[in-house]
Amino acid sequence: MRSVSLVTIRYEGDVEVVFGESGDAEVLGVTALETLGLEIVSVSGKLKYVGHLAL
């Protein structure tokens, strides 16, 4: 379980922040992409915009 929090970024509003631990680079990268509404297409390795979920 990772610690999470909300922070305010003046230009984007509130975003989720994950406080990583040693060796968490992949987890942090995926979280950042999801926050931006992106995913990696596994066949090509390219980014695809999939939008944001309205929660």
| pLDDT in the model for residue 23 | 78
Which tens digit of pLDDT belongs to each residue from 12-49? 566 666 677 777 777 777 777 888 888 888 899 898 99
Q: What is the reported pLDDT for 14?
A: 67
Look at residue 9 in the predicted model and tell me its pLDDT: 62
Cβ contact 31:16 at 8 Å: yes
In this prediction the pTM is 0.52
Contact indicator for 39, 33 with CB cutoff of 8 Å: yes
Query: What is the distance between the alpha carbons of residues 32 and 38, in angstroms, rounded to a whole number?
Result: 9
The CB density around residue 38, as the number of other CB atoms within 10 Å, is 14
Contact 20, 34 (CB under 8 A): no
